[in-house]
Amino acid sequence: MRNTSSGTVLRILYSAALLIASLAGASPALARPSTSGYGTTVTGPRPQEGNFIEIAGQPLRILVGSDGSLQVYHQKYSQGATYGTAGSGFFLAVGQTVYGPYYIPFTPLRQEGPFGSGTSTNPYQVVTEGQISANGLELQIVQTISYVNGNNYFQLEWEITNKGTGTSCFKAYHAADLYFADDDYGIGYYESQSGAVGGFNQARDWFMVFTPSPRATHYEEAYYLTIWDRVSSAADLQDTMDMNYIDNGAALQWDACLQRGQSTTIGDRWSFGESEAEVIRSGETIEEEQPETTAEGFRQTGPLTPGITTYVPTPLDISTDPKVIGANLLLAAIAMILFTIASEILNRTLAKNEAFLQRLLRPLKWLRDLAERANIGKRLGRPVWFELLKLILVTLIYGFVFSLLDPSWKPFSLTGVYLFVMMAITYGIVGLADDIAQWVAARHWKLASSLTVRPGNLLTIVASTTFSRVFGILPGIMFGMPEAFDLDEAALKNRRTENALLRVAAGILFLLLFAVWLPTALTALILRGSWPEFLLVLVGGLESFLLLIFAVTVQNIFLQMLALPNTFGRALARWSKPVWAIGLLATTFLFLHTLLNPRGDLAEALVATNMLVFLITIFLFLAFTVFVWLFFLIVNAFTQKPVVHAPGYLAAAPAAKKSTFWIWCLLIVIVALCLCSFVIAVIVVLSQPGIISTG
């Protein structure tokens, strides 16, 4: 028997209200006005009987309703895991209209099962298919329930296909009125790494959770009427849980937009257990065998929307969750402090030992001079047509290499060609914008200057693309520019002139950053509306182009702000260290919050591939700085310093020149240690499960 409680009284009153409403000819679909325990008026669905197919397994017995509702029984307890015959269901909210059990029902198409023998290779399955058809909306929903006999969990999966003529955006919910261990009351539970939500009983010896796959957009555990009110009003779940012992419910929410003919698959694992570890770790092997069918981008791909661009957020996609913002601010502050210390030590060390570096790098200077002598452009007198031809060739190479960042790139498809063209134009725009601005400024100040193309930068883009593909970083590392601004070396000796030109470059890049990103808020709103298909495709293509420029600009501004030689970050640091530190903090936060960790709290960020690679990069930069400082510390100890004698004293005999053999041995040791550190860092990253991209 259900315990007598305020929740029971509410349900009794609700049933009476439904009876009166039905006698009066009112529709009961949403007619459940009740006052919750929190003093707010909410509405919720009524438990109802339906046609069910049973999966008679052990220890779980699962009832699958023809309307998409569910009830689960565990052999340890006589009552079901949710309140009522059908206390759990799948719902779709399109605009403010909610479809699913208890609301506007899906149009039933078929329900079949149970299939299978209950083994891991042939699980029990029940397939329920329904559809939504209204006002041009045409969505098909295929629900598949899978259970391997003997497990304390089962899998729920919903494939949603847009059969209509336009783009359809919706919120999908899996919601349940929870019932723990024959008791209607429970305490909320959430696990940040997997995104699992649910609860446990007062004795904390019976857990029940929903683990989403892919990760849900939102989640919530709260008073059961609060959950139903969120669903009935098509509202966003609040990403919160209630730790009080209450008559509770829980839900997951996925947001998606589908263009005509597109489909997406979402689902979760419904687990039971006597401990937290049991419900979270249950089914890991089974889940790894499931193919990943849905990407975790911000939007769906399309003819002019390559997959890589779906991982770049518009202003409307930016997370406002305080936990995500706080995590990225903390990580940005840590990175800023470490980069500031390391870059200051490195710059001071290199500047102090510039003469030794010139001697050490003399072989490289010889190679550079040899390349200059073989430079065809120099022999031709650097004609404009030759530099233009070289620029076109190099940008095409950039477009090809960076297109490889998209694991699904098909070069001979419409989407593939568009991605290639976008990449080439993007790097031409971003790379040329600051250089052209500096060139114009230099010409205005009557300084000898030129724009040239440096194909040697191709090594950087090949390395960053390879790194991104090996470690599965999305949208990928996009460092490297195809051209450069050359100024007469005599002019560059004037620090004020150099700083002025670098300020021009910084201003242009920041202007470009916001000029291309802010309009994507408008394109995102257009794509969420009901417009002709060709218009949505074109707007999607424009949005992808703008977002790609934004991603490239963000990354290269971040690289400039690291205060490396010949960057505006270095010029800003020379002018004011505090201003540069604040600027580095802001750009690092922007980089993290938009590209590296747009949706994860601190716990999730520390296990995400993008953030692991970022943190390891900081470690390697620090290690390199320490090695360089240590190397020159020992080198200077070996170097004989001149002794200044007071007048009247005879100079001592010149000291014998010390052998540089040990210096070269030290250099080899330090290089070996750097390589070992890099190898160890790579091994750490590779040891994380599923971190290598197989796309």
What 3-state class would DSSP assign to 652?
coil
The torsion angles phi and psi of 177, rounded to 5 degrees, stand at -95, 105
pLDDT tens-digit profile of 85-116?
Answer: 667 999 999 989 999 988 889 999 999 989 88
As a whole number of Å, the CA-based R_g of the chain is: 32
Cα 237 to its chain centre, rounded Å, is: 20
Dihedral sign, CA of 480, 485, 486, 488? negative
What is the pLDDT at residue 28? 32
Find out whether the peptide bond into 322 is cis, omega within 30 degrees of 0: no
Q: CB–CB of 72/270 below 8 Å?
A: yes
CA-based max dimension of the chain: 122
User: For residue 192, which of 330, 323, 334, 332 has the smallest C-alpha distance?
Assistant: 323
Q: How far is Cα 188 from Cα 237, in angstroms, rounded to an integer?
A: 14
CA torsion 427→430→431→433, rounded to 10°? 140
8 Å CB contact between 70 and 86: yes
Give residue 449's pLDDT.
Answer: 62
Residue 102, both tokens: 């208890």
| Residue stretches of the chain with pLDDT short of 70 | 1-50, 85-86, 281-296, 357-388, 390-391, 431-432, 434, 438-439, 443, 446-458, 480-495, 498, 530, 638-695
Query: What is the per-residue pLDDT for 283?
Result: 58
Say what angle helices 609-638 and 458-471 make with each other, to 10 degrees: 130
* Cβ atoms 187, 200 nearer than 8 A: yes
* Contact status, residue 208 vs residue 279, Cβ threshold 8 Å: yes
Token digits for 679? 């190898």
Q: In 3D, which of 254, 280, 256, 70 has the Cα closest to residue 196?
A: 280
Spatial separation of the C-alpha atoms in residues 627 and 347, rounded to whole Å: 13
C-beta of residue 387 within 8 angstroms of C-beta of residue 451: yes
Distance in angstroms (rounded) separating the CA atoms of residues 492 and 486: 10
Tell me the three-class secondary structure of 305-374, residue by residue. ECHHHHHCCCHHHCCCCHHHHHHHHHHHHHHHHHHHHHHHHHHHHHHHCHHHHHHHCHHHHHHHHHHHHC
> Which pair of tokens denotes residue 215?
């990760």
Single out the residue of 580, 576, 575 nearest to residue 563, CA to CA. Answer: 580
**In sequence order, which residues have a C-beta less than 8 Å from that of residue 463 and are 6 or more positions away?**
none
Q: Are 448 and 488 in contact (CB under 8 A)?
A: yes
Cis peptide before 114 (omega within 30 of 0): yes
What the block records as the tokens of 514 is 């916001």
- The values of phi and psi at residue 77, to 5°, are -135, 150
Predicted pLDDT of residue 493: 53
Contact 475, 405 (CB under 8 A): yes
CA distance 87 to 56: 19
Beta strand spans in 122-217 (E) = 124-134, 137-147, 153-162, 168-177, 185-191, 196-200, 207-212
Model pLDDT, residue 455 = 56
Domains and CATH numbers, the chain: 6-294 (2.70.98.40), 320-638+659-686 (no CATH)
